[in-house]
Amino acid sequence: MVVIRLSRGGSKKRPYFNVVVAESSKKRDGRFIERVGFYNPSAREGSETLRLESERIEYWQSNGAQLSETVNRIVKLNAKGPDGLVAMKKKDEAKALARKNKKAADKAAKAEEAVSAEEAAAPAEEAPKEEAAAPAEEAPKEEAAAPAEEAPKEEAGKEADKK
């Protein structure tokens, strides 16, 4: 079966797509029958982003070629003119921003869950420590207080002896 699809070119993080007519069994960037246009999603303002040979696309469709989902979307936008392409870019940017915000919100929610889990675990851990620490702290105070009380009595007795 013959398919009209995108073939990726360009460098890493800077895609450039050729719109090609190819056999569906061939690889994405492999051998193709005919190049019928290009799509440059990262084109700068004022430069050509999309060019399609609509006559050749119609010819191939009349001979049984199927459009891929992405090429079908691009062909429809090309029919709308330059405004359609601008609208598509805005929509894509909005989707990317929404995905980014959702990812950040998920990350913040996980962080909050981790903090709340730590807070819930912290009082449970601190309570035994406080109970164990409380008798240990009380005992030295009593022991320290007892010699302190005894010391003044002895000093008082020594002072009385001196007089």
- The confidence score (pLDDT) of residue 101 equals 93
Mean pLDDT computed over 105-134: 72
The vertex-80 CA angle with 76 and 84, nearest 5°, equals 90
- Residue 111, pLDDT > 60, answer yes
Identify the helix (H) or strand (E) that includes residue 6. Answer: strand 2-11
Residue 16 corresponds to which tokens in the numbers above? Answer: 């450039």
Note the pTM of the prediction, 2 decimals.
0.52
Higher-confidence residue of 45 and 123: namely: 45
The distance in angstroms from the start CA to the end CA of the chain is 122
